[in-house]
Amino acid sequence: MTNTTPAYKRILLKLSGEALMGDDSYGINRGVIERIVAEIGEVVALGVQVAIVIGGGNIFRGVAPAAAGMDRATADYMGMLATVMNAMALQDAMKHQGLECRVQSALNLEQVAEPFIRGKALRYLEEGTVVIFGAGTGNPFFTTDTAAALRGVEMSADVVIKATKVDGIYTADPKKDPSATRYEKLSFDEAIAKNLKVMDATALTLCRDQNLPIIVFSIFKLGALKRVVMGEGEGTLVHL
Total number of domains in the chain: 1
| Range(s) of the domain holding residue 128 | 10-239
On whether 5 is known to bind a ligand per the annotation, the reply is no
pTM above 0.85, yes or no: yes
Model confidence pLDDT, tens digit, residues 180-206: 999 999 999 999 999 888 899 999 999
The reply to whether 124 falls in a domain is yes
Known binding residue 56? Answer is: yes
171 is annotated as contributing to ligand binding: no
pLDDT per residue over 13-63, tens digit each?
A: 999 998 999 888 889 999 999 999 999 999 999 999 999 999 999 998 767
- For residue 138, say whether it is annotated as part of any ligand binding site: yes
Does the residue 2 lie in any domain? no
Is 97 a member of any domain? Answer: yes
Annotation-wise, does 128 bind a ligand? no
Whether residue 140 is annotated as binding a ligand: the answer is yes
* 41 belongs to an annotated ligand binding site: no
Residue 5 located in a structural domain:
no
Kindly report the CATH number assigned to the domain that includes residue 151.
3.40.1160.10
Closest CA to 238 of 220, 212, 219, 218: 212
How buried is residue 153: exposed, middle or buried, by Cβ count under 10 Å (0-12/13-18/19+)?
A: middle
Backbone phi, psi, residue 50, to 5°: -120, 120
Annotated ligand binding at 95? The verdict is: no
Q: Is 144 annotated as a binding residue?
A: yes
Domain assignment of residue 214, yes or no: yes
236 known member of a binding site: no
Asked if the structure places residue 1 within a domain, the reply is: no
